Amino acid sequence: MVGDSTQPIYAGNLYYDHDRPGGWFNAATGYGALGYAIPAAIGAAIAAPKTRVICIVGDGGAQFSLPEVMTAVDENLPITFVIWNNQGFREIATSMEAVGVAVIGCDPTPPDFAATALSFGIPHVAVANTAAAVAAALKATEGKGPSFIEITAPVFAPAQD
pLDDT in tens, 100-152: 999 888 888 889 999 999 999 999 999 998 889 999 999 998 887 999 999 98
Q: What is the mean pLDDT of residues 10-16?
A: 67
Mention the CATH class of domain 2-152. alpha beta
Q: Are strands 147-152 and 124-128 parallel, antiparallel or unpaired?
A: parallel
The full set of domain ranges for the chain reads: 2-152
| HEC assignment per residue over 33-47 | CCCCHHHHHHHHHHH
pLDDT in tens, 145-154: 999 999 988 7
C-alpha to C-alpha distance for 5 and 31, rounded to whole angstroms: 8
| 79 has a pLDDT exceeding 70 | yes
Task: Write down the mean pLDDT value for the chain.
Answer: 85
Q: What is the mean pLDDT of residues 57-76?
A: 93
pLDDT at 129: 87
pLDDT at 10: 67
pLDDT in tens, 36-54: 899 999 999 999 988 899 9
| 160 has a pLDDT exceeding 60 | no
DSSP conformation class of 30: T
Contacts of 81 (CB under 8 A, 6+ apart): 38, 41, 55, 57, 62, 69, 72, 146, 147, 148, 149
